[in-house]
Structure 1
């Protein structure tokens, strides 16, 4: 939804205060159906505070999250405008604009013409730089060169929309190189004897790799952090993920990576015929539902977190998974394989036209 995108933009923005970001998180968590007491615990606020910001957002939208009773310094461009710029940038331009992608002037002009929001193209450019956005380089999704793209899409989407009766569908992948960044440490000169590797003005204490499996039918997640990502660790996690479903047919959606197809994994699959792999097309991780969950984990738990060690990072991930599973709900997959394939054909046609026009 458009409002959800704008709320997430507030949460992720560097120019938004921690207080406003927390209010946006409260509304997002409420929209996900989480319980009031869980939201209060996650946000570190009282139950009445949760009710207040949910009500304010319902009545006034994003503007309701601004605490106008406090003497805050005047902001030249309101946070809601920045959130709108980010949200629009991350979507394709409306068909009636005739644009294949947003430009800074095109987006600024659209906001003024259609929504009555006046910002300069230079402001849009600054937001793009700060948020790492480059709509002229990225499409809504990457076109796969997999020759079996259509067959794989139909196979995976069929599992989502019409799973075999009594079967379990698991979406599995690994989120690699998650950094334990300590954002509270000052940046000291090298001659102070500080030896930690730094990322910008943060101290990095190490990384971990998260193996995770989403039960597509229930929304529950099993996760495990391991120091390395290889075939042996993947197989160990795979056994853990399917163990709760002993006696059932298990369908696993995953990327066709070398760590997922080692001889040991193949041998285990032969010994366990009730487990079947369904590979997503090459370059199409967006079709794997666990990737959606990884995005939520990053926004809500990792991106703004401060971790003084890898163990602290691992504990936070574990706690987040435990909290998620308290009131887990499955993602609602709505796109049919026919709709996806039709969109791909349309994009391919537009690209061909663009290439032909440039060749003239």
Structure 2
């Protein structure tokens, strides 16, 4: 599995083209306020099944990451060892995360410093940015999270769609 965070995600208008009609688009407001704060997408890619998992979170603290890892662990039999590739972000190396991994047949595999391109999940954030954020103006974080989940479900059903593959190729990963 490959794991990483995407964000911060703010509720704000994003420029760009979307999947909507091209008639007379609404203009983007000149300013916006972050009254809603930000969220982060915690995401994992199962390399064996080419399946993407994601959860939006208010924070990306070790508690949030550990909660997400526990959900991932429940998807696989306890005897199956999970290898999770992730970067050197300090919450990933928190003692509670490392101890939980050791106790639950999970091995954390850290990429080299400043080498996020080594993590295969990175190329999946480009399509997410294009298909979910570009040309959007979500009213709140709930609506944004629903759009992200809808994209993940669609992506998992259409893994070989040429639009997804074209966007993934724009991001260089090992």
TM category, shorter: 0.7 to 0.9
- Asked which structure has the greater RCO (Cα within 8 Å, sep 6+), the reply is 2
Match of 2:80 in 1: 248
Name 2:118's counterpart in structure 1.
Answer: 287
Residue in structure 2 matched with residue 76 of structure 1 by the alignment:
none
Aligned to 1:261: 93
Deviation of residue 286 (structure 1)? 0.9
Unaligned runs of 5+ in 2: 15-25, 166-173
The answer to which structure has the higher strand fraction is 2
Q: Given the alignment of the two structures, is residue 207 of structure 1 paired with residue 38 of structure 2, yes or no?
A: yes
For these two proteins, the number of residue pairs brought into alignment is 149
Q: Which residue of 1 aligns with 2:140?
A: 309
SS in 2 for 1:293: helix
1:319 to 133, 150, 153: 150
SS in 1 for 2:154: helix
Name the residue aligned to 1:298: 129
Identify the residue that residue 271 of structure 1 maps to in structure 2.
Answer: 103
Displacement of 1:206 in angstroms is: 3.5
Deviation of 1:185 after TM superposition, in Å, equals: 7.1
Partner of 2:19: none
Secondary structure of 1:238 counterpart? helix
Deviation at 1:172, TM superposition (A): 0.3
Residue 216 of structure 1 aligns with which residue? 47
Structure with the largest fraction of helix: 1
Unpaired segments ≥5 residues, structure 1: 1-169, 188-199, 332-339, 341-360
| 4+ long deviations beyond 4 Å | 183-187, 202-205
Q: What does the per-residue CA deviation read over 1:263-298, in whole Å, with 9 as the maximum and x for residues that have no partner?
A: 1112112212x2111111100101111111012111
Q: Is the 8 A contact 2:13 2:28 kept in 1?
A: no
Per-residue deviation at 1:312? 1.0
Residue 178 of structure 1: CA displacement? 1.1
Cα deviation, 1:182-204, whole Å, max 9, x if unaligned, reads: 365764xxxxxxxxxxxx54454
Structure 2 Cα separation of the partners of residues 263 and 297 of structure 1: 31
- Distance in 1 between residues matched to 2:153 and 2:129, nearest whole Å: 15
The structure whose Rg is larger is: 1
Quick check: 1:219–1:328 contact (8 Å CA) kept in 2?
yes
Which residue of 1 is the match for residue 17 of structure 2?
A: none
CA contact (8 A) 1:206 1:309 kept: no
How many Å apart are 1:176 and its aligned residue? 2.5
Q: Per-residue displacement from partner, 1:114-153 (whole Å, max 9, x unpaired)?
A: xxxxxxxxxxxxxxxxxxxxxxxxxxxxxxxxxxxxxxxx
The secondary structure found in structure 2 opposite 1:224 is strand
Deviations 1:51-96 (A, max 9, x none): xxxxxxxxxxxxxxxxxxxxxxxxxxxxxxxxxxxxxxxxxxxxxx
Q: Kindly indicate whether the alpha-carbon contact (under 8 Å) linking 2:40 and 2:56 is maintained by their aligned counterparts in 1.
A: yes
Normalising by structure 2, we get a TM-score of 0.77
Native 8 Å contact 1:212 1:222 kept in 2? yes
Secondary structure at the aligned position of 1:252 is classed as strand
d(CA) in 1 for partners of 2:150, 2:37: 19
